Structure 1
């Protein structure tokens, strides 16, 4: 065991232990009073932002997660491939395996994870990716992480080893626990092993970059593409200035009649055989022309420059790589929305001075504030619009994760009592009573 400091540089508050086996993991959970699971440390760690213990040490009765006997379980000791059959398109790995290592293995066989994991270069692990349940922009075509998890082995809050799902694609035995644990953020169980289905990687990708003078036209173009038979891999809308420095100058189109840099940029990523992609890109542009009634300002990005753009988006480079290890500046939020709400949501966020990237065909959004927003006005507006808000990095009025909780909190509270009746694992990520 080694001492661990608080992420804000404050006093030591917990011990870190790195189990090397499933049996050791289960024993540590059974023996601990409070357990904080941790993978690569690239995702939300808001539960670690609890106040420091009192000056005299001991346990803070009002906040048990500020106690000095909290055990941080570093799952990176549980790493490696358990089973991989490229012909069956399934792979089983331990939870502490870096996503980068898994992607490299799959690439050797022309396969990949279509849900587009985040923060791969920053050191994200497989278990942390599933525990957060947040996929990247290219999950649009084939689905998110929960659609690719076939089986799990985990340890619940009582230290019991639980296995669910299987290692084959056609598996329908019992309650779909693997999907339930996607996005659970370590509140119900500590993930130890996971099985994924994987897909063949497209031969090539192209990205059509379209400039729109305002968010209304961007929403119109996005809706037309989403409803078309073109099946793009990603549809992202960046507000003015968000992609500055990420796009080469020659492929940063300007909207007609608008000053340079003031356009909303719609990114349309397509993938498939190299021989058809140029024609596919032309169909994307024609679809937008028919929807908006005028030829759009468009450029096509290919090759290394195209790959660099999507790597930068995956690593949250536009927000200064706002992972949990670099939470400086204003807060970064992940919102869950609806395409029809994009203009209204964009106007609300603009009034609060936020930089915003509407993701996954505007079903989600990344929102970066230069400093603390007026929470007392912002959060009620998001609640009224039924837009859940996850605090990804920085500080907020509630340190539990969700500033506006998702639906189904009553179900989560009931299952929390089953999987973690003594509260060894972190509390549910929203304010009590919600």
Structure 2
């Protein structure tokens, strides 16, 4: 939440790697957890088709808790939508979503995941179980329109990757963080290293550094926290 002066401080803190300060007292707006969840996986022959499906879903009245994009080993892409709500309402909602994808997109197959299988799937996703030991994990803010560009330039690195938040966040797991840094610089995409070697939380370009330094001077005039 914003503080009394109207500054949205949490947005400065997210991804800052402790450069601005530390929260010691927090308040949260809490929403009720859905009674049940169900997940729909739809497979598409190529990237352009799955991105078209994402665009169609955003312009239709489909309420989803999660919309992820996962590249598959055979070159196809999986679109993963998770819906939450009342158990009695979910079958109808998932059926409408399936009908929409069949009618409006080029999906070649669908799979519905429910109950314990749904919970196990998202527990693995949230724990980054798909990231192999020894790999560095990098979070890259992006937009769906720029995903094809990123896919092209990271091809040589063969990263494990996943796109979340409707294609607005890329997660890249790589063995060579320096090569990924160079690639991100070529396409002007910043990255935050979440797992990896110590001492280097930021890779790629760093837009807004001058503003961040002025904010840091205001929040941390004594320089008690790490430099920007």
| Residue 179 of structure 1, aligned match among 3, 7, 10 | 10
Superposed CA deviations along residues 359-391 of structure 1, whole A, max 9, x for unmatched, are 1111001101144563474133231xxx22112
* Alpha-carbon distance in structure 2 between the residues aligned to 1:374 and 1:185: 22
Matched, 1:391 2:193: yes
Tell me what 1:303 maps to.
115
Taking CA–CA contacts closer than 8 Å with sequence separation of 6 or more, which of the two structures ends up with the larger relative contact order?
Answer: 2
Tell me what 2:124 maps to.
312
| 1:242-391 to 2 correspondences below 5 Å | 262-292=75-105, 294=106, 296-320=108-132, 329-372=134-177, 374-375=179-180, 377-383=182-188, 387-391=189-193
* Alpha-carbon distance in structure 1 between the residues aligned to 2:30 and 2:6: 22
Q: 5+ residue gaps in structure 2?
A: none
Tell me what 1:418 maps to.
218
Cα distance, 1:341–1:286 mapped onto 2, change above 3 Å: farther
| C-alpha contact (below 8 Å) 1:204/1:273 kept by paired residues | yes
| C-alpha contact (below 8 Å) 1:329/1:370 kept by paired residues | yes
| Residue 231 of structure 1, aligned match among 54, 58, 63 | 63
* Alpha-carbon distance in structure 2 between the residues aligned to 1:356 and 1:310: 16
Secondary structure in structure 1 of the residue aligned to 2:68? strand
Secondary structure in structure 1 of the residue aligned to 2:97? helix
Cα distance, 1:189–1:212 mapped onto 2, change above 3 Å: same
| C-alpha contact (below 8 Å) 2:185/2:205 kept by paired residues | no
* Alpha-carbon distance in structure 1 between the residues aligned to 2:220 and 2:227: 10
Secondary structure in structure 1 of the residue aligned to 2:221? coil
* Alpha-carbon distance in structure 1 between the residues aligned to 2:149 and 2:84: 31
Cα distance, 1:238–1:275 mapped onto 2, change above 3 Å: same
| C-alpha contact (below 8 Å) 1:336/1:365 kept by paired residues | yes
The alpha carbon displacement at 1:402 in A equals 1.6
* Alpha-carbon distance in structure 1 between the residues aligned to 2:206 and 2:112: 37
Superposed CA deviations along residues 194-233 of structure 1, whole A, max 9, x for unmatched, are 0000101111111001111111111111221122211211
Cα distance, 1:329–1:414 mapped onto 2, change above 3 Å: same
TM-score of the aligned structures, taking structure 2 as reference length: 0.89
* Alpha-carbon distance in structure 1 between the residues aligned to 2:9 and 2:204: 24
The count of corresponding residues between Structure 1 and Structure 2 is 227
TM-score of the aligned structures, taking structure 1 as reference length: 0.49
Superposed CA deviations along residues 108-158 of structure 1, whole A, max 9, x for unmatched, are xxxxxxxxxxxxxxxxxxxxxxxxxxxxxxxxxxxxxxxxxx37xxxxxxx
Cα distance, 1:202–1:375 mapped onto 2, change above 3 Å: closer
* Alpha-carbon distance in structure 1 between the residues aligned to 2:107 and 2:129: 31
* Alpha-carbon distance in structure 2 between the residues aligned to 1:274 and 1:302: 11
Matched, 1:209 2:41: yes
* Alpha-carbon distance in structure 2 between the residues aligned to 1:309 and 1:201: 18
| C-alpha contact (below 8 Å) 1:214/1:263 kept by paired residues | yes
Secondary structure in structure 1 of the residue aligned to 2:27? strand
* Alpha-carbon distance in structure 2 between the residues aligned to 1:376 and 1:412: 21
* Alpha-carbon distance in structure 2 between the residues aligned to 1:304 and 1:286: 24
Cα distance, 1:395–1:291 mapped onto 2, change above 3 Å: farther
| C-alpha contact (below 8 Å) 1:288/1:296 kept by paired residues | no
* Alpha-carbon distance in structure 2 between the residues aligned to 1:341 and 1:364: 11
* Alpha-carbon distance in structure 2 between the residues aligned to 1:319 and 1:337: 20
* Alpha-carbon distance in structure 1 between the residues aligned to 2:155 and 2:88: 41
The alpha carbon displacement at 1:334 in A equals 0.7
